[in-house]
Amino acid sequence: MLKINRENLKSSHQLTWFIIDFLMLGLLIINLTFIIWDSIYNFAAIQSVLKEQIPAFYTLYQPVHENFIFYDFMFVTVFLTEFFVRWGYAIRAKVYDRWYFYPFIHWYDLVGCIPVGSLRFLRILRVISIVYRLHQYKIIDVTSTGIYRFVNFYYEAFMEELSDRIVVKVLSGVQHEIKLGSPLFEKIQNDILYPRREMLSSWISQRVAEAAKEGYVPNRGALRSYLEDRVNHALKQNTELSRLKYLPVVGSTIQETLEDAVGDIVANVIQQILEDLASSSNHAFIEDIVNTFIRGPGMPDSTETRNEALIALIIEIIDAIKGQVRVKRWREQLP
């Protein structure tokens, strides 16, 4: 329900104008109700029903309906008087840079006073302007009303649906242009990715180090045992190496020593690689990969595969953005 903040109303320096606003708001609501009712009463079927069911009311209201313009003009007289009073105050207080700006800025007040059926309903704009002014000065809080929440919810839902469709359409067009070899791809590569290769290298380096620490360091022993087992299994399947055991006296010893040495070497090499990736020393390695992947302006690509990979990456990124855009946030607010 709409509540009036009496403290702000009393402390305001425009108390008189706000009181006038409330009076005009009441008159506008009465006048619009009168206009709507008379428009309904104008139907012959309505008049026939009233004449049969409520003859006293029909007899009482029929003269009012016949002289509707006169009664409406009484409201218009009040509205125009208030309009010219406010115009005079705006000139005196120099609210606008020119004295004749006021009627142009408040054009809806004048147009709504024209006694033509379709223009009379423009008086609703005056209601909206008064409510907005009272809300702006914190005399009333429109956002606390159920009507505002209802209208605002469906307005936001409509705008989200509309903007989502536009964004998805634009992104789909960008993807199509990139696939056709649009200059946009070169712009992304040369003007966006290439100048930021240091930032990309640092970010990828940090993520690789974190992934190596979380995945490798806690399982170092198990990984080493697994590598040694796999190497030993592979060496035992090797025909040439299995022949060493047939050497007299030292054959089996040489075979076992060689298997242990190869397994240890492979495990140590893999372990060193993973430790390097888990440390800050991986930055140079990652930077070389990024520099190879992202070519600078004017630098020829050795293969088309690199361009295709970058195009596929950009298209997948756009697909991810489109997927996020398609998420309907307004549905999450439904009960």
Q: Does the structure show a pLDDT above 70 at 235?
A: no
Cα distance between residue 32 and residue 112, in whole Å: 11
The pLDDT value recorded for residue 303 is 47
The pLDDT value recorded for residue 84 is 92
Q: Does the structure show a pLDDT above 70 at 144?
A: yes
Cα distance between residue 79 and residue 109, in whole Å: 8
Arithmetic mean of pLDDT, 296-313: 60
Please check whether residue 290 is in contact with residue 197, taking contact to mean a CB–CB distance below 8 angstroms: yes
- DSSP letter (8 states) at residue 98: S
pLDDT-above-70 percentage for the chain: 70
pLDDT 10s digits, 160-219: 888 888 888 888 888 887 777 667 667 776 777 777 777 777 777 777 777 666 666 666
Q: What is the band of 99 on the pLDDT scale with cuts at 50, 70, 90?
A: confident
Q: What is the band of 78 on the pLDDT scale with cuts at 50, 70, 90?
A: very high
Q: What is the band of 248 on the pLDDT scale with cuts at 50, 70, 90?
A: low
The CA angle 243-244-246, to the nearest 5 degrees, is 75
Min mean pLDDT across 116-125, 232-241, 299-308 is at 299-308
Q: How far is CA 112 from the centre of its chain?
A: 37
**The model's pTM:** 0.51
Cα distance between residue 202 and residue 208, in whole Å: 10
Residues 6+ apart with CB under 8 A from 3: 140, 141, 144
Q: Does the structure show a pLDDT above 50 at 272?
A: yes
Q: In the chain, which ranges are continuous DSSP H helix?
A: 6-11, 15-41, 44-53, 55-66, 68-93, 101-105, 107-111, 117-120, 123-136, 146-179, 183-187, 197-215, 220-236, 239-242, 251-277, 283-293, 304-325, 329-332
The pLDDT value recorded for residue 81 is 92
Q: Does the structure show a pLDDT above 60 at 301?
A: no
Ranges of each domain in the chain: 6-144, 157-216+286-335, 220-277
The pLDDT value recorded for residue 199 is 78
Cα distance between residue 188 and residue 177, in whole Å: 12
User: Higher pLDDT residue, 165 or 285?
Assistant: 165
Cα distance between residue 32 and residue 122, in whole Å: 10
Arithmetic mean of pLDDT, 289-315: 63
Q: Does the structure show a pLDDT above 60 at 300?
A: no
- DSSP letter (8 states) at residue 108: H
Question: Using CA atoms in the order 178, 179, 183, 184, what is the torsion angle rounded to 10 degrees?
Answer: 10
pLDDT 10s digits, 19-59: 888 899 899 999 999 989 988 988 888 888 888 888 898 88
Arithmetic mean of pLDDT, 321-329: 78
